[in-house]
Amino acid sequence: MTRAIDYSLYLVTGRELLPPGKAIKGGVTVVQVREKNIDTKEFLQIALETKQLCRKYDVPLIINDRIDIALAIHADGVHLGQSDMPIAIARQLLPQGTIIGTSVNTIEEAKKAKADGVDYIGIGAVWTTSSKKLTAPVLGVRGVGPILEVLKDTEIRAVAIGGIKITNALRALHGAIAPSDYRYLDGLAVVSEVVASPKPFETARELSHIIKSFKSFKLPPVFSFHSAKCSVDSFVSKAGKLLESVRALSPLVHQLQEITNIVVSTQSANATLALGASPIMSNASEEMSDLSKIIGGLLINIGTITNKECMLLAVVFDPVAVGATAHRKSATEEFLNEFQPTVIKGNAGEIGALVGSLEAKSRGVDSIGPGFANPAEIVRRLARRERCIVLLTGETDWISDGDVVIKVANGHCYLSSITGSGCMLGTCVATFCAAASLSAPPSESLDRLLVGGDMLIATLGGLLALTVASELAGERPDVKGTGTFLPALIDALFHLTPEQITERAKVEIVI
């Protein structure tokens, strides 16, 4: 009978790395001994010593590649790479119940592993790593989900490997899912983060805590709380009331100065102030650590790309003209693999570039083409894939959390004729998200870290704030065109009330 294994924290070690004893005490649940350039006698000795240690703490031991060593020490299992012995032959040689895992980097390799009947797969490399020379492309965290999809309706377990650290462990767990059925990783495989740490016990304990907390948290599709059960009136009422939270809490909203499109940074700052929040503009990477401790929200806008190093965390991500150049496309891919946005906001051309649709394209910052035949499905699919709220802007706006879709028909025609209206919208959404996060009940649990309030409603609130304010501004008798519209819009944001939002909202829920 195959031994049941908890794959939560899978440690890969060897002779050039620290012994796994302290790491096991810290929470490691399975150990693999990996050696490549070593003679059999020395490998056998290392494997025997590691087995004694693993047996002491009742932790399963996996041997990489060497079936002879696994047989000699009665290891719990073996891990076979794509160029190692075929799994079918390994099954014939190994005792019944021996665990067999394999490394995969593509959907095709995962399908073969499934057909071969492996017990688990190691998916990677997720990020670049210095512990092993890579022979296959780096997947990025967003490349793991399609591979997990292959394991749907099977008992095959899966761990992610390659560049896993404390700082990106949660990103890997939250971002690497099979979109159709929300299949999650069963664990994370680590190498240098633990064995090269001066404090392996503490590092393993912290990783173990992150993984256990994530697994214990019954995560909704993405960020919203039972949104499908809410009525339109409930959505709008909650969105409107968030304006009160904005003004009561006055959250500090970080807008990266050179990245939040320098062309309209003043307008974005003024919109933030008009709502009752406080903007701060900085693109210095040296300030990011300190700022992250005091800000309520972060807006990233790639209107002008100058400093990617400081774009590691986000609340609202605005991929301006992402489809216009190869540089913007590659930068966006890099960013989305590094951080977990709360909201992605874009026009049809930008969202089309993210989902790979040809229905809408970008020409500079503008969207061209007929638009999406089914925008509701586009935003729902992208939200599921990216594990965040998606806001598709246009004559009609669409919001989704991967489950419910909200259709919004507010706004004034002048909005599309002034520079920076999209950036101002990003500012409004970030401000409302910050207020939702800060007004959530204090907690140290993972729900605050990942959710921090209902971000679907916060996104709706930010959208309605700007679009309703634009209607109010456009109705003023002194507004004769776009030149007089912009200052009137700032005034309307300043005087906006929750009642105006709820009374004017043109919202429809699409399930």
Instruction: Name the residues annotated as catalytic.
Output: 423
Cis before 125 (ω within 30): yes
Which amino acid, residue 327? H
In angstroms, the CA 20 to CA 27 distance is 11
In angstroms, the CA 398 to CA 408 distance is 6
DSSP 441: P
| CB crowding 394-421: b at 16 or more within 10 Å, else e | beebbbbbbbbbbbbebbbebbbebebb
In angstroms, the CA 49 to CA 419 distance is 67
Helix axes 482-495, 265-275, angle to 10 degrees: 30
In angstroms, the CA 273 to CA 59 distance is 56
List, in order, residues 6 or more apart from 215 with CB less than 8 Å away. 8, 184
Nearest-Å Rg of the Cα atoms of the chain is 25
Q: For residues 204 and 27, is the Cβ–Cβ distance under 8 A?
A: yes
Judge residue 466's burial from the number of C-beta atoms within 10 Å of its C-beta, 0-12 exposed, 13-18 middle, 19 or more buried.
Answer: buried
DSSP 382: H
List, in order, residues 6 or more apart from 24 with CB less than 8 Å away. 11, 31, 53, 54, 57, 59, 204
User: What DSSP assignment string belongs to 61-118?
Assistant: EEEES-HHHHHHHT-SEEEE-TTSS-HHHHHHHSPTT-EEEEEE-SHHHHHHHHHHT-
In angstroms, the CA 508 to CA 505 distance is 9
Q: For residues 314 and 271, is the Cβ–Cβ distance under 8 A?
A: no
Q: How many CB atoms lie within 10 A of CB 225?
A: 15
In angstroms, the CA 45 to CA 35 distance is 12
Alpha helices in 198-356 (DSSP H): 200-216, 232-249, 265-275, 288-292, 326-338, 348-355
